[in-house]
Amino acid sequence: MSGYFPDLLLPLTPAQEQEKLRATLDGYAAVDIGVMLEALSPGATANRRKSERIGVLVRLLTDPAATPRALGTLSPLARRLLGVVGRGGSTTIAALLLAGQDRHHDEEAVRRVLQDLVSRALLLVEGAGSTGTKVSLDLSQPTAVLLRVWVPQGVQEALAVVADEDLPPLVALPEPPSEIEAGSFAMLRRDLYLTLRFLKSTGLRLTRVGEPHRADLRKLLAALQTGGTPPRRDSDAAVIEGRLGFLLRLLDAAELTTVIDNQLRADDAMESFLNGSEPEAAQLLYDAWLDLDWSEFRRLSQLTIEPWSYSGAGDVPDRQRNADARLAIVELLTAAPEGWMSIEALSDRLRQTVPEFLIDRVPEYPPSYYSYYNYYGQDSYYGTRQALEQVYYRGFARSDLRNRDRRLRKDQDWAEVEGAFVAQVLGESLRWLGLVDIGYERAGKRADGDLPQAVRLTDLGLRLLCARDVVAEPVIGGVALVVQPNFEVLVIDALGHLDLIARLDAFADAKSLDRAAIYTLNRASIVRGLAAGWTEERIVGTLESASSGTLPQNVRHTLADWAREYERVHLHRDVTIIEAPDAATLDRWLADPALGKGLSRRLTPTVALVISEVANTVATVLDQRGVELWAINYALDPPQVLDLVRPDTIVVNPEDDDPYLRYRLAAFADVQAAEEGRSATFAISPASLARAQAQGQTIDEVLAFLGYKARAGLSPDDVLTLRGWSGFYQPFQFARVRVVELPPTANWGDLSRVKALRPLILRILTTNLALVAEERWPQLEAALVARGITLNEGLDIQPQTEKRSAAQRAAVDLGLSTARDLVNGTAPTAPRAAQREELQRLTGRKLVDFIIAALEADQAMVIEYQKPNERRATIRTVEPHELEVRGGAYHLHGFCRNRQGDRIFRLDNILGIAVAPE
Amino acid sequence: MTGVEQFQGARLFRNLSLIECADAATLAEVLAGLAGRHVVRRLSDTVVVVDHTQVEPILKALRKAGYTPRVSGEGRQ
C-alpha cells in the first residue's frame, strides 16, 4: 500500500477476482489449502487434488451467501483487522499488528487473530518465495511481519457495514483544556492582506533557487507586525517565520502571487480575493492547503531529519503522502463529535483504522531496486535481517534523546511520530487556517516543541468541513469607520472590511492594523491619492459612506484645501504641444475632427497640448492639410548648431534658432541682435560669464556646451580667452630676469652646489639654462669672472623648426608630412611606396607616433594587418580618423579603402606600416 | 523672437516640460523661486515652458516651498 487513497481502488470483475484468488492459492501448500477448506466447509477436502480444493475454495470465497456466514463466526477484532486491510486494498502483517493493539489485545493476541484469519483464507498472503517454495503461513516467524496480505472482494463487501464495530465511539472531552489557542481566519486574512499589500508595493526578491531573499523576508515580517509587538523569544520568532513561509506558499498555491523579473508579486486575482466573502476565501485557501507543498512533518522539532543513503528519503513523507495524511486527519476530525477532542484519541483512532496513513510499515521497493530482500526472498537469512531492520523508522531520529535510543521504532513509537504529526497539522496548519482551536492541558509557559493535546473545530471549520449551518457574524455593512476631527480614521472591524482597508491605503497612512485599524489623513497621503487618480469627491464619498454620516467640518474643509492646492500648480513632464501662428488657426485645428482628437486641450490662445501617443498622426494630418510644420524634439540634443566666430561672438542661424537654445545661451551670453529672418548674435563677456558662474554654471560646462554646439569646435585661443574672462586662471607671475646659458661643458647643477653662487640663481630651467634676478646679476657676474669664467651677451636660441614633438620627429623620420609642414608648404613631395617588403615593422611607441603623425597630416597609410584568429595577413589602405585607447590597447579608427567601410584596427595586430602612395 | 517663433506654420514641440498654474499670481509666486531660473519660454500668464533637464530640481524646490504640484505626462516619446 502506498498512501491513503481508498477512493482510487477500483473493484475487480468476478472473473478477475477468481483469477487473483487462484493465483494466490496456487502459491500455498496443498495441506494449507486443505486446512482452510475444512475451516470454511468441513468435509469438503476429502479425496480431492490441490487444484480441485482451490476450485472449491475459490467458489466459497466468491459466494455472496458463504462469506457473511464465515464473518459471523469472527471476533470483532478480527473483523476490524479485515476492515483495515480492505480499506487500503492490501497491507502488511506489521501494519495489522500495530492496528490491532489496544487495551485488551497485545501484539501476541493480535498475531493469533491474524493467524486464524489466514488459516480461514479470509486473509490471503501474496506471492511465493523466490526460491520456488510455497508461501509460509506461519505468522510466528520473524519474517512474517513482511508478508503482504489482502482480503477477497466478497469479504470486503460483507465487511463494509461492520468494520469498526468493535471500536468505542470517539467522545468529546468533558472539560475544556486549561489553555486555548484560538484559530482565527480573520487574522489569517489580515496577514494575507498585509503580505499581498507588501508584495504589490515592494515585491519579494527571490534567490536563484526560488526561495525568498532573507532580507526581504525580514522586511515582510516587520510589515506583518503593524501595531503589534515583535516576538520576544527566538522560538516565537521561529514560529512566526514558519507561519510566514506557510502564508507565502499558500498564496502561491492559491494563485494569488506571481513571479515577475525574479520578484514575487501580488497577482491581479488579489483584489477579488480580498473583496470576496469569508466562506469563499476560506474554501480557496483550504483547497490550496490540501495539496500544499509544505511539510508539517519536517516542522516537528522533536524529530531530526537525517540523510538517508539509500534511494528516496527513507520514511520521511513526500508531498503526496503529506497531502494524503492531511485528508485522513480532516476526515477523522469531521467524523468526530462536536466539542473538544483529545488529539491523542484521534491519533490512536488513525492507528487502529489507517495505520499507514503517513508512513508504510514495510517499505515497498520497486522491483528493479536491488536488495538482498528482493533477491533472496523473505524466507532467507537476508529476509530475516530485513524483517528485523524494518521495525525502525528510516531517515529521521529523535532530536532529544534523554537517554533513549535515538532510533524510533515503528511498532512502539507511533505517538512520537504519527501522533506528533497529527498534533502538528492541527496545531499549526489547520489553526493558522482558522479551522480549529487547539488546547493545552497545562497553562503557562510552554517548552519548544510542545504539542497541543486537544482540538475542536471553529465555527468556520464546522461550516467549511462539516457543512454545518453555523450563524456567521455579518462581514460587511453598518458603520465601518469613524473619522475623527484630529484626522484619524478608525476602522472598527478592520479584518471584516479588508476591501475598505485596501481603498483607504490609497489616500491615508496606516498607523496600526489589527482587529481595529487606525489611519491618518494628511496632506501627503491625500496628494498620493489624487496622484493615483482619486478625486476629492471620491475620497469624501468613500469616507462618508463607510462612516454612515458626514465628515467633521474641519476635516471636510481641509481635504478641499489640499485638493485645491494640488490643482494649483501642475507640472507637465515630457509632453508635446502644438503652437499655431494665431488663435483663429488653432480654433480651426481644434474644430477639425481628425486633428481635434489628437489635441487634449488648449493651454493658451495659440498653444494646445497634444496627446503624445498620437503626435505623429497629428503631424501627418497637418501635412495632409498643407500646413507647414516645424517639429522639435527636446529629447534630442543636436550638435553643431551655432558658430563661435570669435571668443566673444556667437552667431545662430534662423533655422537653428529655437527657444531652448536661446535659453541655454542666455545663461552665459547676451543677445546682441536678432532681426527677423536674420542670424541672431550673442556676445560673451567677462560680465556674462560671471553671471553664469553666479547661477552655478562653471566655465568648463560653458566650454563643453560650446564645444558640442559650435560647428568648428573650440580653438585653443577660444578656450584660453574664455577661461581668462571667467577668472579661471590664477594671476600669471613675471619678473625682470637674465637668462644664462651654459656651454655643453658646464651644467647648472654643478654651479648650484657652489655655496656662494646658489643664492644668486633665481630658477634653473634645464641643465644649461637658468634665470637670474636682475638685481643679483652684478654679484653673479663678479663671482663668475672671479672664477675665470668669461661671459658673452646673447643666447644660442634653438631654431623653431627643431622644436618638434616626438610625433612630429617620428613623422619626419618616416617621411610623413605634419600639419605644420602642410601649412608651411614644406611637406615631402615624394611619398614612399607601400609594397609589403617596404612596410616598416614598427611596434609600441614608435608605431603610435607614426599613426599620430599620419593623423595630424591627414595622410592615408598602408598597413599589413592580421588578427590572431586569421591565418594570413592582409594589406589594407586606411584613412585614419582617430586613435583610441580601449581596454588597455590602442585602436585605430579609420576608413578602409579595401573594404570600403569604417573599420577599427588594433595596433597589436598591425605587422607593418607605411605611408600610402597618393 | 527666435527663428522658430517667427515661423508661420505649425510648431510641434515634443518632450518639453511645462508649469501650468491656476492663476497668474500663483505662477508669479512659483517663478519667484528656483523654477524662475529655468524658464525657457513664457506661453501665457499661467503657463511657462521650463528646462526639461531640470524638472527634478524644480519639483524638489516646489515641494520644499510648500507646493504639492500635480505631475503628469511622464515618459519620453
Q: Is residue A171 part of a domain?
A: no
B14-64 classified as CATH 3.30.70.1220:
yes
Q: Is residue A697 part of a domain?
A: yes
Q: Is residue A865 part of a domain?
A: yes
Q: Are strands A148-150 and A263-266 parallel, antiparallel or unpaired?
A: unpaired
Q: Is the Cβ of B21 closer than 8 Å to some Cβ of chain A?
A: yes
User: Is B12 in contact with A607 (Cβ distance < 8 A)?
Assistant: no
Q: Is residue A476 part of a domain?
A: no
Q: Is the Cβ of B76 closer than 8 Å to some Cβ of chain A?
A: yes
Q: Which amino acid is at A720?
A: L
User: Is A603 in contact with B18 (Cβ distance < 8 A)?
Assistant: yes
Burial (0-12, 13-18, 19+ Cβ within 10 Å), A648: middle
Written in H, E and C, the secondary structure of A290-336 is HCCCCCCHHHCCCEEECCCCCCCCCCCCCHHHHHHHHHHHHHHHHHC
Q: Is the Cβ of A478 closer than 8 Å to some Cβ of chain B?
A: no
Shortest distance, CA B47 to any CA of chain A (angstroms): 7
Neighbouring C-alpha atoms within 13 Å toward the C-beta of A52: 6
Domain count, chain A: 8
The answer on A440 and A310 residing in a single domain is yes
Q: Is the Cβ of B56 closer than 8 Å to some Cβ of chain A?
A: no
A568 contacts on B by Cβ (under 8 Å)? 21-22, 26, 67
Backbone φ and ψ for A383, nearest 5 degrees, come out as -60, -40
Cell numbers placing A841: 615593422
Query: Which residue in chain A is spatially nearest to B74 when comparing CA positions?
Result: A573
The answer on A127 and A143 residing in a single domain is yes
User: Is A570 in contact with B72 (Cβ distance < 8 A)?
Assistant: yes
A387 vs A373: CA distance, rounded Å: 9
Confirm if A28 and A135 have CB atoms less than 8 A apart. Answer: yes
The answer on A755 and A703 residing in a single domain is no
Q: Is residue A551 part of a domain?
A: yes
Q: Is the Cβ of B16 closer than 8 Å to some Cβ of chain A?
A: yes
The answer on A153 and A57 residing in a single domain is yes
Q: Is the Cβ of A603 closer than 8 Å to some Cβ of chain B?
A: yes
A592 vs A219: CA distance, rounded Å: 55
The candidate with the shortest Cα–Cα distance to A563, out of B63, B28, B68, is B68
The closest CB to that of A615, out of B19, B55, B77, belongs to B77
A428 vs A450: CA distance, rounded Å: 12
* Mutation for B interface: A561, A574, A582, A624, most B CBs within 10 A: A574
| pLDDT score, position A411 | 85
User: Is A612 in contact with B77 (Cβ distance < 8 A)?
Assistant: yes
The closest CB to that of B16, out of A575, A613, A618, belongs to A575
Higher model confidence: residue A213 or residue B76?
A213
A634 contacts on B by Cβ (under 8 Å)? 13-16, 52
| pLDDT score, position A220 | 84
Helix boundaries (H) for A49-102 = 50-61, 66-72, 76-88, 93-100
Q: Is the Cβ of B48 closer than 8 Å to some Cβ of chain A?
A: no
The answer on A446 and A395 residing in a single domain is yes
User: Is A581 in contact with B8 (Cβ distance < 8 A)?
Assistant: yes
B11 contacts on A by Cβ (under 8 Å)? 578-579, 629-632
The answer on A120 and A197 residing in a single domain is no
The answer on A402 and A339 residing in a single domain is yes
Shortest distance, CA B63 to any CA of chain A (angstroms): 11
Q: Is residue A471 part of a domain?
A: no
B32 contacts on A by Cβ (under 8 Å)? none
Compute the C-alpha angle A836/A837/A841, nearest 5°: 90
- The ipTM is 0.94
Neighbours of A676 (CB within 10 A): 8
A594 contacts on B by Cβ (under 8 Å)? none
Q: Is residue A103 part of a domain?
A: yes
The closest CB to that of B4, out of A610, A618, A632, belongs to A632
User: Is A630 in contact with B70 (Cβ distance < 8 A)?
Assistant: no
The answer on A145 and A86 residing in a single domain is yes
The candidate with the shortest Cα–Cα distance to A346, out of A489, A173, A124, A219, is A173
* Mutation for B interface: A526, A561, A565, A575, most B CBs within 10 A: A575
The answer on A14 and A120 residing in a single domain is yes
The answer on A554 and A494 residing in a single domain is yes
Q: Which residue in this structure is represented by grid cell 637658468?
A: A770
User: 659-688 in A: which are within 8 Å (CB) of B?
Assistant: 659-663, 674, 676-677, 680
User: Is B13 in contact with A576 (Cβ distance < 8 A)?
Assistant: yes
Q: Is the Cβ of A583 closer than 8 Å to some Cβ of chain B?
A: no
The closest CB to that of B14, out of A571, A634, A695, belongs to A634
| pLDDT score, position A237 | 62
Shortest distance, CA A266 to any CA of chain B (angstroms): 25
A193 vs A276: CA distance, rounded Å: 12
| pLDDT score, position A466 | 85
Shortest distance, CA B13 to any CA of chain A (angstroms): 5
| pLDDT score, position A871 | 75
A375 vs A572: CA distance, rounded Å: 82
The answer on A880 and A744 residing in a single domain is no
Torsional sign, CA A365, A371, A377, A379: negative
User: 692-711 in A: which are within 8 Å (CB) of B?
Assistant: 695
Q: Is the Cβ of A627 closer than 8 Å to some Cβ of chain B?
A: yes
Domain boundary (A271, A297, A323) is at A297
Query: Which residue in chain A is spatially nearest to B72 when comparing CA positions?
Result: A572
| pLDDT score, position A365 | 55
* Mutation for B interface: A535, A561, A571, A661, most B CBs within 10 A: A571
Q: How many CB pairs under 8 A join A and B?
A: 195
The closest CB to that of A576, out of B30, B69, B77, belongs to B77
B4 contacts on A by Cβ (under 8 Å)? 630, 632, 657-659
* Mutation for A interface: B1, B7, B8, B14, most A CBs within 10 A: B14
DSSP state of A512: E
| pLDDT score, position A80 | 85
| pLDDT score, position A133 | 63
B31 contacts on A by Cβ (under 8 Å)? none
A519 vs A508: CA distance, rounded Å: 6
User: Is A530 in contact with B76 (Cβ distance < 8 A)?
Assistant: no
Under-70 pLDDT residues of chain A: 1-11, 44-47, 127-134, 160-166, 225-240, 275, 308-313, 363-387, 448, 470-479, 515, 673-677, 796-837, 918
A408 vs B40: CA distance, rounded Å: 82
User: Is A581 in contact with B37 (Cβ distance < 8 A)?
Assistant: no
Q: Is residue A824 part of a domain?
A: yes
The candidate with the shortest Cα–Cα distance to A640, out of A706, A595, A574, is A706
Shortest distance, CA B8 to any CA of chain A (angstroms): 6
Q: Is the Cβ of B65 closer than 8 Å to some Cβ of chain A?
A: no
List strand residue ranges (DSSP E) for A98-216, in order.
Answer: 124-125, 148-150, 179-181, 204-205
The answer on A188 and A123 residing in a single domain is no
Q: Is the Cβ of A525 closer than 8 Å to some Cβ of chain B?
A: no
| pLDDT score, position A667 | 92
The candidate with the shortest Cα–Cα distance to A338, out of A469, A181, A433, A440, is A469
A615 contacts on B by Cβ (under 8 Å)? 12, 14, 77
Q: Domain range spanning residue A546?
A: 481-568
Give residues with Cβ within 8 angstroms of A64, minimum separation 6. Answer: A154, A157
A916 vs A833: CA distance, rounded Å: 7
The closest CB to that of B70, out of A570, A633, A695, belongs to A570
B20 contacts on A by Cβ (under 8 Å)? 569-572, 603
List strand residue ranges (DSSP E) for A206-286, in order.
Answer: 257-260, 263-266
